[in-house]
Amino acid sequence: DPDMPFVPSIPEDQFILVEEGDPTVIPCRTSDPDAQVTLVNSLDKSVYALHDTKQGFIGNFPAGSYTCKTIVKGVEFKSDEFLIYIIRATSQLPVEIEALKTVYKTGETIVVTCVVFDNEVVNLQWNYPGKVKEKGLIKLDDIKVPSQKLVYTLTIPEASVKDTGDYECTARHATKEVKENKKVVITVHDKGFVHLEPQFSPLEAVNLHEVKNFVVDVQ
């Protein structure tokens, strides 16, 4: 198609996630198998790479924006802009789930964090008793120093007995079929309670100036 030398790309193809050191494909495919295509970077400088008309340019590219150019009957055409993001990732997914405490009273705020180490881009999902009612606030902190970690914090305000149960986070790798999940059990009581066991009688006698200890076990 001389009026459409580059096959239209869908938005998902224009954002390319690549792990450090891995080759990738900039998918500017052509409708003419004999088209001469040039790849340029954001500074409009040519970038040398192998071009396959059915796939696009193949190589190890630095992060940044790239565009493909070709000329048809003296007219220059440009492809869509492609954005490459270099991500830090490992083949495994080290994940930890943390809860400051696992027993709450009604009305308190439940806080659970899920931490993913050494991976910059993951898909993380929470499963917990109040998820159906969307009772939960999720915050993400991307920490890069001194090491890479993603901290997902789930907050449940005004907890009730119905919020008792399993709190589970599942992390999925951005580019590999790898997933890891961790869970913690949270219990919410209707009200607080204590159990006392005095180790002394209802009536005790003491001499003048005598020091006497009264011991109580509190649970």
Q: Which domains does the chain have, with CATH numbers?
A: 11-87 (2.60.40.10), 95-189 (2.60.40.10)
- Host H or E run for residue 14: helix 11-14
* Least confident among 3-12, 95-104, 121-130, 202-211: 3-12
Query: Nearest Cα to 118, choosing from 97, 146, 98?
Result: 146
**Per-residue pLDDT, 53:** 84
In terms of Cα–Cα distance, which of 167, 186, 172, 168 is closest to 116? 172
Q: How far apart are CA 194 and CA 65, in angstroms?
A: 63
Mean pLDDT, residues 162-187:
91
This model's pTM is above 0.85: no
Q: How far apart are CA 140 and CA 150, in angstroms?
A: 7
Dig out the tokens for 80 from the structure: 């869509």
128-164 pLDDT, tens digit per residue, is 999 988 889 999 999 988 888 999 999 999 999 999 9
Q: What token pair was written down for 79? A: 């492809």
Place of tokens 């915050």: 139
How many Å apart are CA 104 and CA 162, to the nearest integer? 12
Distances (CA, A) of 26 to 65, 85, 96, 99, 101: 10, 12, 35, 43, 48
| pLDDT greater at residue 84 or residue 18 | 84
